[in-house]
Structure 1
Amino acid sequence: MAIATTDPSTGETIRTFDPLTEDQLGMRIIASSHAFTHWRDTPMDRRAALFRDLAALLDEEAEELGRIATQEVGKTLASAVAEVHKCAKGCRYYADNAEAMLADQPHDVPGARVVTRYEPLGPVLAVMPWNFPYWQVFRFAAPALMAGNTGLLKHASNVPQCALAIEDAFVRAGFPEKVFQTLLVGSSEIERIIGDDRVRAVTLTGSEAAGRAVAAAAGKEIKTSVLELGGSDPFVVMPSADLDEAVRNAVASRTLNNGQSCINAKRFIVHTDIADEFTRRLGEAMAALTVGDPRDEDTDVGPLSSGDAVKTLDQQVRDTVAAGATLVTGGEPGGGPGFYYPPTVLADIPDGSPAHREELFGPVASVWRARDLDDAIRIANDSTFGLGGSVWTTDPDEQQRLVRGIETGMIYVNRMTESTPEVPFGGTKNSGYGRELAQFGPRTFVNAKTVWIEGG
């Protein structure tokens, strides 16, 4: 895949970039290793001050950075600007809290002073996706660099300007040279980078196939890895739920980032007593959304990331309908220019169809009918994924049974799933392993060293 900016709203390639040569890549890895020897000894309060300066820069330039993201991935300008501000929030959160999270942890051992120290590992490779081109990077970089590691970013090939802008922001905020670097390389270089002795760990957010490849490469080298992969999140609605609120959040979650988010609600599992009403309301609300230029403030849903993304989603929908699903609304991609797909609702999902087994990465909602609570849990767990999920009920017993029964890394009750610095983020099953954010962020890429001082 070429390293290039292609505007999804028009299909026009705006700019292309030459990948790093083998020598250039090698020099950047060496530089990251050298930078680590100094950065690891930088006092925590100095690291925190730099991240506060970076946060201020991001807030000040959010509009400009947001326009770059809109041009490269087609997200609405309002959501792109909000994403940059979210990155600033993450920088401040770890500037304020990482030192306490990484403080020595004492253990009660008679006659000795025993603590666990959290020491940084070294250069960490981050293989990041295009859909949240800033937040995905900062939710790794802020905690990992506050812990004393250095960062090497291999971003998606369709967001080179976002990737370079992130590196530039670190530099202009005053971070020491080479503490954070962007690597403009293709995915074929990832295994070689992981294999370099100087690179000590890797984190990936992306597809299940990419996760398997990175996990295999990291396992071969015995290096720490974190994977955040796909999701087909359940959204369970029971009769006691506030139906207006459930439908409003269903639409907001499914169309977040034009429907291209791992934690979008994708499978709507509704008790049979309210299934017809919910499906009708959901279809009407999705059909009423405005699809158009992501720079237009009246646009609700912009384009998908590429022409291939439209083709894949369209085929998944067509195959699901051919298998027996009901098309409630949508289902016909735009004729162009641009990579548009309409908000779509499918119901009566057949077993084995794409909507049943695959992640639909676009504004397509799939509705299941559940006989009772146990059936809702069964349907929710009938997936190879287990990233997040949300449940809508005001019955305390139902809430607890759903929380215990649904197999996900995250479950939200009467609230749509989200990613925020204060809360751990990650999945189970084929959605990956490891956790990001909260206290897990700074403690992921560290050596938890036991120190025993006899008689201390």
Structure 2
Amino acid sequence: MSDQKELKTYNPATGKELKTYHFMSDQEMNDAVQACHDAFLEWKSKPAKDRAAVIKKIGEKLTERKDEFVELMTREMGKLLKQGHQEIELCSAICEYTAMNGPESLQDEERELPEGGKGYITYSPIGVIYGIQPWNFPCYQALRYSIANLMAGNGVLLKHAESVTGSALLLQEIYEEAGLPKNLFKVLRISHEQSNHVIKNDLVRGVTLTGSSEAGKKIAKMAGEELKKTVLELGSNDAYIVLEDADLDLAVETCVQGRIYNNGETCVAAKRFIVVDEVYEKFKESFVKQISKVKAGDPTREDSDIGPMAREDLRDQLHEQVEESVKKGAKILCGGKKPDGEGYFYPATVLADLKPGMPAYDDELFGPVASLIKAKDAEDAMRIANSSRFGLGGGIFSKNEKKAHELAKYHFDTGMVFINSFGLAKPNMPFGGVKDSGYGREHGGFGLHEFVNTKAVMLPE
């Protein structure tokens, strides 16, 4: 199945190799799937409160080893140290929330039957869940789906991005250190071709992917052919709408942070800035001024605002999207030049005069490039926002919170909306999108029910 022999990790700030890992053989891969299934058979019978105690301990161990994990993430994918700390803190909070609320969310529900008698709804674990995850949040992406499924009583396999292999293995070590049974959470060091065989393995009962919409279509088709459920959290080009009654200082500050957070490499990030005509020029002037001040540099230094992009090919792809947009009429207001020197750095950039057909208008730009778009009014802004094939998140800036709430509820075609703010995941709120941004939900208890058997048990009078 696999010809490749080694996985390699690199420091994106220098381009230098960090470490080499051996790929699993096909036999080792199949043995890992079997071992995970065997561990699941014992884990599923444990009371939810006992599983919750282990989940809580995982959160505590993450906190204990936070500095170690943060430094590794920064070395492997260029994340700012302070944002690495935020990531681990979020992961610990997810563990705490899941441990506190998981047992109640998984309790049986009782219902009266129409003809008399009682019905019970029970949430039964189904088996081994396979997750394919990206590199941009090395701990969070893997923890997001795995903690929910472990709480639900399932076993979990992880194929993490090659570039963060060390982070994946550290997470497995922390899980087991916290008391999770060995093999119940297993990192697979495998190729894409081998991964296809994992999806087809009869012991694997569900598949979840975080990645591009193109990858999502392939994985969903493959899993669908095996009649296996999928949860997909895919890319997006989230629109942040600035209305005429917005607090412009707040809007500018928030939008800048929303675009450059995590070096601009976040799926649910502010990417398209749709500003109504009445305040467009004021917003543009201030926004470009602030973006121009963003400093790209060593992610271990406190004075760096953004670090390098995670891989050289990703930087090249982003720059090609910028150049293609410019060829089609876009204007660079700042940035837009690929720097010389070591590391995969790219300057914070603003593009304007955008139209449909340009990558900066239609596609996801996964890096520190902002797309500035003018709208006539609120209705036009919402039309532009919803014209995207994506629908993960979005934002609205307005002092009229009631109006903003109504726009978010009735008109914004996305899975998440932030009003007068920018945010990522919240442990108690559902996370996920619509359209080409995928389907299914995680967090807030919703992820606990994605890969369980919602079973009906009926008893007569």
Asked if TM exceeds 0.5, the reply is: yes
Question: What secondary structure, in the 3-state scheme, does the structure 2 residue paired with 1:420 have?
Answer: coil
Alignment of 1:296-315 (within 5 A): 296-315=301-320
Task: Give the alignment partner of residue 205 of structure 2, picking from 200, 206, 212.
Answer: 200
CA deviations over 1:170-215 (Å, ceiling 9, x no partner): 1111111111111011222222101000011011000111111110
Cα distance in structure 1, aligned partners of 2:419 and 2:450: 27
The answer to whether 1:79 aligns with 2:83 is: yes
CA deviations over 1:260-302 (Å, ceiling 9, x no partner): 0011110000010111111111111111112100011111100
1:401 Cα offset (Å)? 3.0
Cα distance in structure 2, aligned partners of 1:173 and 1:331: 46
Q: Which residue in the other structure is 1:24 paired with?
A: 28
Cα distance in structure 2, aligned partners of 1:393 and 1:210: 36
Q: Which residue in the other structure is 2:189 paired with?
A: 184
Question: What secondary structure, in the 3-state scheme, does the structure 2 residue paired with 1:430 have?
Answer: helix
Q: Which residue in the other structure is 1:318 paired with?
A: 323
Q: Which residue in the other structure is 2:8 paired with?
A: 4
Whether the 8 Å CA contact 1:231–1:386 is kept in 2: the answer is: yes
The answer to whether 1:40 aligns with 2:44 is: yes
1:429 Cα offset (Å)? 0.6
Q: Which residue in the other structure is 2:72 paired with?
A: 68
Alignment of 1:390-409 (within 5 A): 390-395=395-400, 396-409=402-415
Q: Which residue in the other structure is 2:98 paired with?
A: 94
The answer to whether 1:223 aligns with 2:228 is: yes
Q: Which residue in the other structure is 1:444 paired with?
A: 450
Q: Which residue in the other structure is 2:155 paired with?
A: 150
1:24 Cα offset (Å)? 0.3
Cα distance in structure 1, aligned partners of 2:370 and 2:381: 17
The answer to whether 1:294 aligns with 2:299 is: yes
Question: What secondary structure, in the 3-state scheme, does the structure 2 residue paired with 1:265 have?
Answer: coil
- TM-score (normalised: structure 2): 0.97
Alignment of 1:320-335 (within 5 A): 320-335=325-340
Amino acid at match of 2:437: S
- TM-score (normalised: structure 1): 0.98
Please list every run of 5 or more consecutive structure 1 residues that lacks an aligned counterpart in the other structure.
none
Cα distance in structure 2, aligned partners of 1:294 and 1:189: 34
Task: Give the alignment partner of residue 236 of structure 1, picking from 217, 235, 241.
Answer: 241
Task: Give the alignment partner of residue 419 of structure 1, picking from 418, 425, 428.
Answer: 425
Whether the 8 Å CA contact 1:393–1:399 is kept in 2: the answer is: no
Please list every run of 5 or more consecutive structure 2 residues that lacks an aligned counterpart in the other structure.
none
Amino acid at match of 2:251: A
Cα distance in structure 2, aligned partners of 1:240 and 1:3: 52
Name the Cα RMSD after superposition: 1.1
Amino acid at match of 1:363: P
1:397 Cα offset (Å)? 3.0
Q: Which residue in the other structure is 1:410 paired with?
A: 416
1:403 Cα offset (Å)? 3.5
Cα distance in structure 1, aligned partners of 2:174 and 2:404: 47
Whether the 8 Å CA contact 1:139–1:421 is kept in 2: the answer is: no
Task: Give the alignment partner of residue 351 of structure 2, picking from 346, 351, 358.
Answer: 346
Percent sequence identity is 39
Whether the 8 Å CA contact 1:36–1:148 is kept in 2: the answer is: yes
1:96 Cα offset (Å)? 0.4
Question: What secondary structure, in the 3-state scheme, does the structure 2 residue paired with 1:17 have?
Answer: strand
Q: Which residue in the other structure is 1:261 paired with?
A: 266
Q: Which residue in the other structure is 2:139 paired with?
A: 134
Cα distance in structure 1, aligned partners of 2:352 and 2:201: 49
Cα distance in structure 2, aligned partners of 1:375 and 1:429: 20
Aligned residues between the structures: 455
Question: What secondary structure, in the 3-state scheme, does the structure 1 residue paired with 2:283 have?
Answer: helix
Amino acid at match of 1:47: R
Cα distance in structure 2, aligned partners of 1:305 and 1:418: 19
Question: What secondary structure, in the 3-state scheme, does the structure 1 residue paired with 2:120 have?
Answer: strand
1:398 Cα offset (Å)? 4.9
Q: Which residue in the other structure is 1:382 paired with?
A: 387
Q: Which residue in the other structure is 1:103 paired with?
A: 107
Amino acid at match of 1:370: A
Query: Structure 1 pair 385/422, CA: closer, same or farther in 2 (3 Å)?
Result: same
Amino acid at match of 2:304: T
1:107 Cα offset (Å)? 2.0
Query: Structure 1 pair 398/166, CA: closer, same or farther in 2 (3 Å)?
Result: closer
Cα distance in structure 2, aligned partners of 1:4 and 1:277: 47
Question: What secondary structure, in the 3-state scheme, does the structure 2 residue paired with 1:45 have?
Answer: helix
